[in-house]
Structure 1
Amino acid sequence: MQSKELNKDSNLRVLKEIAELLNEGTEISPLLKKVLQKLLEGTGVTTGWIFFIDHDGRHTVVSTENLPEALEKNNCNPLKKGSCWCIEWFKNGTLTKATNIIECRRLEKAMRNKEETNGIAFHATIPLQSGNEQFGLLNVSAPEKREFTANELALLESIALQIGSAIKRIRLTKKEQEIALIDERNRLARDLHDSVNQLLFSLTLTARGGAEMTEEESTKNTFKHIQTLAQDALTEMRALIWQLRPSGLEKGLIQAIKAYGEMLGLSVKTNLCGVLSLPAQVEESLWRISQEALNNCKRHSGQNDVEIAINVGKCKVEMTIVDHGIGFLYDKGKALPSLGIESMQERAEALNGIFTLESEPGKGTKIYTKLPY
């Protein structure tokens, strides 16, 4: 009886410590790593990993702790590739509670190849959910452990429910923050349009009127210079307003890119392969990357023709932006040449994507972006 009471107290302590972690967390990936560490410290399990599974059934490894060499090799590639019982059961809707997995496919394969599994052959799998919404799986294991008891599964299920609630809370919070950011961008865009933009437009008209009213050549040239500067500033201001609130994005990414290029005075040729139906975050990143590329073309390429190709695959989208302008000398082994190009790379890498830049003097510039979704 005393042993059972001690075990009960230990379980309550683990639940309490994990609940405190989840309550404080604001970023999902580092939070899940801390939860796995706490789970391994407070229970008998020695290994854990978490899958997120999207609506199309694609799974992503979001956190691991103390994996055996057979699963950890090549940046956890054995976990990332292929399917297994737990993922298949999750996808067909039969995995609704904590369950023992007998003979894990991935571990079976590793043992057949005589790879190091640290004595692990079986694991428990627990769905991560909040209400009717499911996010993925929590998998845990220990050496030589063939089966988890009913009490152990109940504890793991309680922890998984806490994790699911925390994931939903964090995602809802981020969604609210995104909406607030969009609202603020729209407000700034309206303010700039109604104030600075109108003042610059008035300055352009005033300078043109001044140039027409005077006969003195030097004064006329001064007014013309002021008019040119004001027009350049007006173009920059309109581009800034577009960046804050992209007009036309609601009509599709291609339309928005072409309209933005026209606003800059560029001739944008687009080519789309596949159906352009992307998650909002992916579309936003492609839009911002193309904006910066078009700005750079306008300022630095020395010509006005740009080619943009977008290729949409089953789980990835590729965008290539090419101009045939003056180009520049770029060494791939060194830092990127500007903050704008760095921001493009950061946007791509934030979504686990790829960004590359190619340029040579006299041969133009090519920007390539690939994003998973």
Structure 2
Amino acid sequence: MSEESRFEELNILKEIAELLNEGTDSKTVLSEVLKKLLHLTGLQTGWIFLIDEKGTHQLAAKEALPPALANHNNQRLCEGDCWCVNRYNSGKLNMATNIIECQRIENAILEKAGNTAGLTHHATVPLRAGNEKVGILNVGSPYKTHFQKEELALLEAVAFQIGTALKRIKLTQREQETALISERNRLARDLHDSVNQLLFSLSLTARAGTELTDADDVKQTFSYIQDLAQEALGEMRGLIWQLKPQGLEIGIVSALCGYAKMLGLTIDTKIEGISSIPGKVEEALWRIGQEALGNCKRHSQVSQVTLFLKISSDSVTMTVQDQGCGFQYNEELEIPSFGLKNMKARTKNLNGNFLLTSKPGHGTEIKVYIPI
């Protein structure tokens, strides 16, 4: 290797290390690192699977996939098992290794699913941080059927850096979420101790003013001020609930029941399953349920609502239903309100499904399914 080539290799390794050390978005980091790694090794194609504790893989990055793998939005990589994922899940993939053949490519050839561009084999490297495994790095090139020890050692070194960076990003995100919750709690306390108390004092002052005067027009003015203060107090309580839901620390159902009571709704709850819900999912369900109950209060023209929560080992389903006036809704058209769009977005962010059913005179049902 010439001195110039050696310098370029070291420079690329430095760029990879900087990306992994400074990046904050895992998918962006993985995509950029994969491009640089392929350039460094002279390989053409690569993809990265992130694999969760249940063995479910997710395509997190890809580069120069042949049509047979890229067709239908990378469906062949996103679905089904293969030899490398099975080895990883069985605990047999602990170091960089040659995979004799790619099962996904082999299936594509058998099914005549598109051009494989000469790709038949790939190297597979587990992504790990210490003893914790997080996924797989796969790289290959057309007609390349074997990887030298030096190649595998380089891939393994970069893969270890990737695994460590992914753990760092995950911990950083967790710290940010904790800081956000802390800030919400602080703001809720400040609103309760300052603005909420001022509105309460204003309401009492207006009431006293009504009792101290005999002039009808002054009485009406003080009465109007009192009504406004009471309305503002109600809005403030709702805002404080949004920031810091009382009861969420002992469960989503308790929090939603308390919020419904605060809105003046009667709620009938049905719960199935006893598995715990991850914090992110519970937070999303709280926000979605809060919006659904608020919509019921504002639009349904009824005060009775049903909450159904079904929890299993791998998913949670929440249904909020009322028998109110309903509205005309076509699922093929765009969701009609910002609140409903926000509920759907929160669900999609957690790879869940959002279903809205409503019809004039037949009430409204919101059903959310989220994998856990």
TM over 0.5: same fold?
yes
User: Structure 2: which amino acid aligns with 1:354?
Assistant: N
C-alpha distance in structure 2 between counterparts of 1:109 and 1:264, whole Å:
57
- Alignment correspondent of 1:328: 327
C-alpha distance in structure 1 between counterparts of 2:170 and 2:192, whole Å:
33
- Alignment correspondent of 1:104: 102
What's the offset of the Cα at 1:177?
1.2
Superposed counterparts of 1:215-234, under 5 Å: 219-234=218-233
Stretches of structure 2 lacking an aligned partner (at least 5 in a row): none
Distance change (3 Å), C-alpha of 1:112 and 1:13: same
- Alignment correspondent of 2:34: 36
Q: Secondary structure at the match of 2:53?
A: coil
- Alignment correspondent of 2:351: 352
Correspondent of 1:83 among 64, 81, 84: 81
Superposed counterparts of 1:140-179, under 5 Å: 140-179=139-178
Q: Secondary structure at the match of 1:319?
A: strand
- Alignment correspondent of 2:299: 300
Correspondent of 1:73 among 63, 71, 78: 71
- Alignment correspondent of 1:368: 367
- Alignment correspondent of 1:135: 134
What's the offset of the Cα at 1:7?
6.2
C-alpha distance in structure 2 between counterparts of 1:286 and 1:133, whole Å:
29
**1:11–1:155 Cα contact (<8 Å) kept:** no
What's the offset of the Cα at 1:83?
2.0
C-alpha distance in structure 2 between counterparts of 1:287 and 1:215, whole Å:
48
User: Structure 2: which amino acid aligns with 1:118?
Assistant: A
What's the offset of the Cα at 1:302?
1.8
Stretches of structure 1 lacking an aligned partner (at least 5 in a row): none
- Alignment correspondent of 2:48: 50
Q: Secondary structure at the match of 2:69?
A: helix
C-alpha distance in structure 1 between counterparts of 2:307 and 2:321, whole Å:
6
- Range that drifts further, 206-215 or 270-279: 206-215
Superposed counterparts of 1:170-319, under 5 Å: 170-212=169-211, 219-319=218-318
C-alpha distance in structure 2 between counterparts of 1:314 and 1:51, whole Å:
23
What's the offset of the Cα at 1:139?
0.8
**1:285–1:347 Cα contact (<8 Å) kept:** yes
- Alignment correspondent of 2:10: 12
- Range that drifts further, 146-155 or 39-48: 39-48
User: Structure 2: which amino acid aligns with 1:122?
Assistant: H
C-alpha distance in structure 1 between counterparts of 2:350 and 2:184, whole Å:
22
CA RMSD of superposed structures (Å): 2.3
C-alpha distance in structure 2 between counterparts of 1:193 and 1:149, whole Å:
66
- Alignment correspondent of 1:93: 91
What's the offset of the Cα at 1:210?
4.1
**1:253–1:287 Cα contact (<8 Å) kept:** yes
Distance change (3 Å), C-alpha of 1:225 and 1:333: farther
**2:102–2:122 Cα contact (<8 Å) kept:** yes
Distance change (3 Å), C-alpha of 1:150 and 1:278: same
What's the offset of the Cα at 1:289?
0.8
What's the offset of the Cα at 1:9?
4.6
TM-score (norm 1): 0.91
- Alignment correspondent of 1:119: 118
Distance change (3 Å), C-alpha of 1:154 and 1:287: same
What's the offset of the Cα at 1:107?
2.1
Q: Secondary structure at the match of 1:199?
A: helix
TM-score (norm 2): 0.91
What's the offset of the Cα at 1:188?
0.5
User: Structure 2: which amino acid aligns with 1:158?
Assistant: A
Q: Deviations over 1:252-271 (max 9, x none)?
A: 11111111111111112222
Q: Deviations over 1:208-264 (max 9, x none)?
A: 444455565555454444333322221211111111111111111111111111111
What's the offset of the Cα at 1:85?
2.3
- Range that drifts further, 355-364 or 24-33: 355-364
What's the offset of the Cα at 1:90?
1.8
C-alpha distance in structure 2 between counterparts of 1:137 and 1:8, whole Å:
27
Distance change (3 Å), C-alpha of 1:81 and 1:331: closer
- Range that drifts further, 115-124 or 327-336: 327-336
What's the offset of the Cα at 1:166?
1.6
Q: Secondary structure at the match of 2:255?
A: helix
- Range that drifts further, 45-54 or 329-338: 329-338
Aligned sequence identity (%)? 53
C-alpha distance in structure 2 between counterparts of 1:7 and 1:145, whole Å:
22
- Range that drifts further, 236-245 or 19-28: 19-28
Q: Secondary structure at the match of 1:226?
A: helix
**2:269–2:306 Cα contact (<8 Å) kept:** yes
C-alpha distance in structure 1 between counterparts of 2:14 and 2:70, whole Å:
30
Q: Secondary structure at the match of 1:361?
A: coil
